[in-house]
């Protein structure tokens, strides 16, 4: 497994994800770094899926938009996402 490049901060916030063919879901982001996050959802996802994300941070009035995030690992409902395209503020 590849070494993490960024320090992860624990948190608990809402995350919406959108994929191909109208695939979408809601998750709870459990930790966050500049390169990705760990999430938990009732929606099953698979390694290799690509999503657009809206991450609702508690101290921000608008969601953080991630244009491209790749599912890197997990067991379907608990999964890691790598951010590969972040929209500038």
How high is the pLDDT of residue 79?
Answer: 96
pTM given for the model: 0.85
- List of the chain residues with pLDDT < 70: 1-6, 87-89
Q: In Å, how far from its chain's centre is CA 37?
A: 5
Question: How many separate domains does the chain show?
Answer: 1
4 in a domain, yes or no?
A: no
| Domain CATH number, residue 39 | 2.40.10.220
pLDDT in tens, 53-69: 999 998 889 998 999 99
2 in a domain, yes or no?
A: no
3 in a domain, yes or no?
A: no
71 in a domain, yes or no?
A: yes
By residue range, what is the domain housing residue 79?
9-86
37 in a domain, yes or no?
A: yes
62 in a domain, yes or no?
A: yes
- Considering only CA atoms, give the Rg of the chain: 12
Give the C-alpha separation, 83 to 69, whole Å: 4
How high is the pLDDT of residue 1?
Answer: 45
Q: How far is CA 2 from CA 35, 40, 57, 81, 82, in A?
A: 13, 21, 27, 13, 12
Give the C-alpha separation, 40 to 28, whole Å: 5
């Amino acid at each position: 497994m590849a070494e993490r490049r960024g320090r992860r901060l624990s948190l608990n916030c809402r995350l919406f994800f959108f994929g191909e063919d109208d695939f979408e879901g809601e998750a709870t982001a459990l930790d966050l770094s500049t390169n990705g996050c760990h999430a938990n959802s009732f929606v099953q996802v698979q390694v290799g899926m690509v999503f657009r994300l809206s991450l609702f941070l508690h101290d921000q009035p608008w969601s953080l938009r991630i244009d491209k995030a790749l599912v890197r690992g997990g067991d379907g409902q608990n999964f890691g996402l790598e951010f590969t395209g972040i929209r500038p503020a």
